[in-house]
Amino acid sequence: MSVIQIDPTEFGRIASTLLRPQYADDFSWCVFDTRENMEIHALLTHLESHETVHQFEEAKSTMIFTWVDRLYLANQIAAAITYVKEREFTLQHLRVTLLDLDPYPTLTEFYEQLRSIRYNIYTNNGRCMFDHNDMTRLDDLIDAVAHQIILDMSRCKE
């Protein structure tokens, strides 16, 4: 097993893909747990003004970006534990400017990058650097993207 530290721009592209209007409804729910999803739906039913909707969208973007940042940190920790000889290393947070990157052009590329990241948050001795809840969210996201790819392929055949 070989761990690679994935470039932060890939994580920025993941966040921008999740925030892309085309995919936001299909995939962003994966990043939230059941309680958060229920709160989001309750808020949506009570939104009245354009300003409130904008504030909600900002909060949702922040939550998605924070989750992707934790994913980036997990990758850095796995790589450092695997390869850094000294037991000191520095972690970097994602820069918010990475949200300006272009999203993945295809769901297949998005899926492949998510699978690569999932593999690369484990150390060589099999310890996962992402907590159980976040790992469940990542797995749900990978499954949702795979399901959408299959759905799109079946529509093309019709």
- On whether residue 1 sits in a domain, the answer given is no
Dist. CA 30–CA 143, nearest whole Å:
9
Enclosing domain of residue 26: 8-157
Q: What is the pLDDT of residue 158?
A: 61
How many C-beta neighbours within 10 Å does residue 82 have?
Answer: 19
Q: What is the pLDDT of residue 109?
A: 96
Q: What is the pLDDT of residue 62?
A: 87
- Number of domain units in the chain: 1
- On whether residue 81 sits in a domain, the answer given is yes
Sort 20 into a burial class: Cβ within 10 Å, 0-12 / 13-18 / 19+: middle
Cβ–Cβ < 8 Å for 71, 30: no
First vs last C-alpha separation in the chain: 41
Q: What is the pLDDT of residue 102?
A: 92
- On whether residue 96 sits in a domain, the answer given is yes
Task: Determine the residue type at 90.
Answer: T
Sort 120 into a burial class: Cβ within 10 Å, 0-12 / 13-18 / 19+: buried
Q: Which residues contact 67 (CB under 8 A, 6 or more apart)?
A: 31, 134, 137
- On whether residue 134 sits in a domain, the answer given is yes
- On whether residue 83 sits in a domain, the answer given is yes
pLDDT by residue for the chain (158 residues), tens only, comes to: 678 899 999 999 999 999 888 887 778 778 887 777 677 667 666 666 666 667 777 878 888 999 999 999 999 999 888 888 777 889 999 998 988 899 999 999 999 999 999 999 987 778 888 888 899 999 999 999 999 999 988 887 76
Q: Which residues contact 123 (CB under 8 A, 6 or more apart)?
A: 3, 78, 81, 82, 129
- On whether residue 48 sits in a domain, the answer given is yes
- On whether residue 2 sits in a domain, the answer given is no
- On whether residue 3 sits in a domain, the answer given is no
